[in-house]
A and B are shown apart, each in its own frame.
Chain A
Amino acid sequence: MTGPLLSIENLRTYFYTDAGVARAVDGVSLQVSQGETVGLVGESGCGKTVTALSILRLIASPGRIEPDSRIVFEGKDLLQLGPEEIRRVRGNRIAMIFQEPMTALNPVFTVGDQVAEVARVHDGATRREAWKRAVEMLDRVGIPSADERARDYPHQMSGGMRQRVVIAMALMMRPALVIADEPTTALDVTIQAQILELLRDLQRTFGMSLLLITHDMGVVAETASRVVVMYGGEVVEQAPVDRIFASPHHPYTEGLLAAMPRLGSARDRLLTIPGTVPPPTEWPSGCRFRDRCSYAWERATEHPALSEIAPGHVSRCHLAQEPQRRLQPHEPLAAGRGAP
């Protein structure tokens, strides 16, 4: 197979609410290659989770994936598949790891049963065979004495152990793509370190691709090889991981990196992005970041296209055409209005 494993082209997922049409994902294109880890980053409401749910076609009414969106995976457009065909993709070729392991697991079945169920549904494995494979997989994801712990119910396990169970379920069918939506956000930092190490290790062994959705730039730096930054339902910047951190182009990416407290930095004031993300029913026309941007000028009323900054590095910003404007930062419009 040539080309990327997953190719999203002009994905638009809109929600038709009483408050208006929420354009949660509004023209997103991105690729994930075989064996690659792509970090999809952005703050609440930027559309990163809706992008992930759209890939698996888990969008329910009043949400709708708009016509002309394409999600090509292993050569097939997932948006054209029938219900039975998409079911064969979910959990089998593409698996998802959710943020909150307690809600992703069913409280009334043992964790072994839940992992085994994946093999029974997708492979038609017998009960005994599926259980054996489940125990092997639980052992592989680092659950100590897996044959005994498989008989535990989710509430008998800690958060970190539950997340390992969710990972075991996701990997049971050796999927080509794993989508992990904030997989460590609900975990303590020492447990987060364990889970990230496990994901890296499993990815090396199984050669799967990983689409890692997170708001934590630290997690991205340690895990992803390429980074896609979303803001206001759009991709605003995309680059190899070292470039994003060393020379971010889009003012939003720049602001996000500056606003992060970092270990070992001086105890001074943090830089902030004034204002707040507008609701998805009211994206500003033109550049969606303009009210919060310290460089915005008249041209901000015009919607910027993605421009190439360097090979593999694109940014949705007019600064690509007029870089000298970066030398004249000013107070963003949002700073003047009551605070966020």
Chain B
Amino acid sequence: MTTPLLSVRNLTKHFARTRGLFGGGGDTVRAVDGISFDVFPGETLALVGESGCGKTTTGRAILRLIEPDSGEVMFDGHNVLTLAAEPLRQLRRKMQIVFQDPYSSLNPRMTIGAIVREGLIIHRIAEGAEADKRVGQLLEEVGLRGDYVGMYPHEFSGGQRQRVGIARALSVEPKFIVCDEPVSALDVSVQAQVLNLLQDLQRDRGLAYLFIAHDLSVVEHIADRVAVMYLGRIVESADGAALYREPLMPYTQALLSAVPVPEPGAKRERIVLRGDAPSNSMPKMGCVFHPRCHDPARDAECAKILPPLEEKSPGHVAACIKRPPVRNSA
């Protein structure tokens, strides 16, 4: 059994929401509410869910771009949440992030050469002619031309900019990259190019990804394992193939059935959920999903018992009291 590269335990981040002119009467948004997961070297764990489920906050809290309230994040033997500023800075060389919006994540006043070079200089990986050479290689590795170094972000298309963002993340030779919706702002044909690039880089460099996304068809393509989030919690997690073949949690079932299928006239049982996701500031009783649950087994217990995330079949965990847990073969 290999040891995880990243191990997250009970990660929690609540935001205080202020109401009124003087911030009185505010309540708490439980953006991330005690989640735990592992990422192993060289694998892709996808974190999926709809807007507001806490997936982006999770990605940022791991890197401490947002300071989490509590929990533990172990990365490569270091306790990330207790590190002082300087050791944290050094650790960030190993853990990088690629952002969703390639338009706002690149400084418009810097050439793309300078953007990719910055990390090399800060982390004293290379300088001078050696750094120039590395920048050229990195741009070529992500499928751009090495002689693009003097150009500015606005001269590039969305897909090209996302490649620059990837080259910037790669420049410091990380082991792990948080990919926060890296293709959702891109057109279909360009999205496919960037997904293939991420897969190639993973294979060539042995990278591990935490792939944050809302698009389940994209996730099926790229993920080894998938964790589904709903209102700040992981409600189901399994090997990608198992989760898509046999989703256990009613929310995951609804999410999968809602994906439009590009086959005209395809007969499908679509589960159309009632209502919107309730706000995650609501005090919680019972299962977070029960007000929208469509499962025939749903009953009064669901509103009372907070379902534990337990193993329902080997390697497949789900938070639903109406699904029997796995029996020990002993």
Chain A interface (Cβ < 8 Å from any Cβ of B): 43-44, 158-161, 188-194, 196-197, 215-222, 241-242, 245, 255-257, 259-265, 267, 269-274, 276-277, 337-340
Contact = CB atoms under 8 A, between A and B. Distances in A.
A10 to B, nearest CB: 27
A245 B160 contact: no
Interface string B210-247: 00001111101110000000000000000011001000
Contact of B221 (A158, A255, A261, A272): A261
Interface stretch (B62-70, B123-131, B170-178, B265-273): B265-273
Interface in B236-289: 240-241, 244, 254-266, 270, 272-273, 276-277
Nearest to B258: A193
Interface string B180-191: 000000011111
Contacts, number: 143
B148 interface: yes
B188 A194 contact: no
Contact of B261 (A160, A189, A218): A218
A257 B261 CA distance: 12
A161 to B, nearest CB: 7
A157 to B, nearest CB: 9
24 contacts: A43-B190, A161-B276, A188-B214, A193-B260, A193-B270, A193-B273, A215-B187, A219-B260, A221-B264, A255-B189, A256-B189, A259-B189, A259-B191, A260-B262, A261-B195, A262-B261, A263-B259, A263-B261, A267-B241, A269-B196, A270-B195, A273-B192, A339-B144, A339-B159
B50 interface: yes
Given A191-B276, A264-B244, A269 B199 contact: yes
B11 to A, nearest CB: 23
A211 B195 CA distance: 31
A338 B261 contact: no
B145 interface: yes
Q: Bin chain B's interface residue count.
A: 35 or more
A91 to B, nearest CB: 27
B157 interface: yes
A221 B260 contact: yes
Nearest to B50: A188
A160 B276 contact: yes
B259 A189 contact: yes
Contacts of B255: 189-190
B244 A263 contact: yes
Nearest to B278: A158
B119 interface: no
B193 interface: yes
Contacts of B158: 44
B51 interface: yes
A43 B188 contact: yes
B276 A192 contact: no
A218 B262 contact: yes
Given A188-B51, A189-B258, A262 B217 contact: yes
A110 to B, nearest CB: 19
B127 to A, nearest CB: 26
B112 to A, nearest CB: 12
Contact of A194 (B191, B263, B272): B272
Shortest 10 CB-CB distances between A and B: which pairs? A218-B260, A338-B145, A339-B143, A188-B50, A43-B187, A270-B192, A273-B189, A259-B192, A193-B258, A261-B217
B77 to A, nearest CB: 31
A134 B287 CA distance: 36
Given A260-B188, A262-B217, A339 B163 contact: yes
Contacts of B199: 269
B272 A267 contact: no
A260 B88 CA distance: 39
A263 B256 contact: yes
A44 B221 contact: no
A45 to B, nearest CB: 9
Nearest to B265: A242
B202 to A, nearest CB: 12
Contacts of B277: 158, 188
Contacts of B192: 259-261, 270-273
Contact of A267 (B189, B191, B221): B221
Contacts of A263: 216-217, 220, 244, 256, 259, 261
B69 to A, nearest CB: 26
Given A276-B159, A340-B190, A221 B262 contact: yes
A300 B74 CA distance: 57
A270 B273 CA distance: 31
B141 to A, nearest CB: 11
B272 A197 contact: yes
A340 B193 CA distance: 9
Contacts of A189: 50, 214-216, 255, 258-259
Given A190-B254, A245-B262, A257-B262, A339 B193 contact: yes
Nearest to B279: A158
Given A338-B143, A338-B144, A270 B221 contact: yes
A217 B263 CA distance: 9
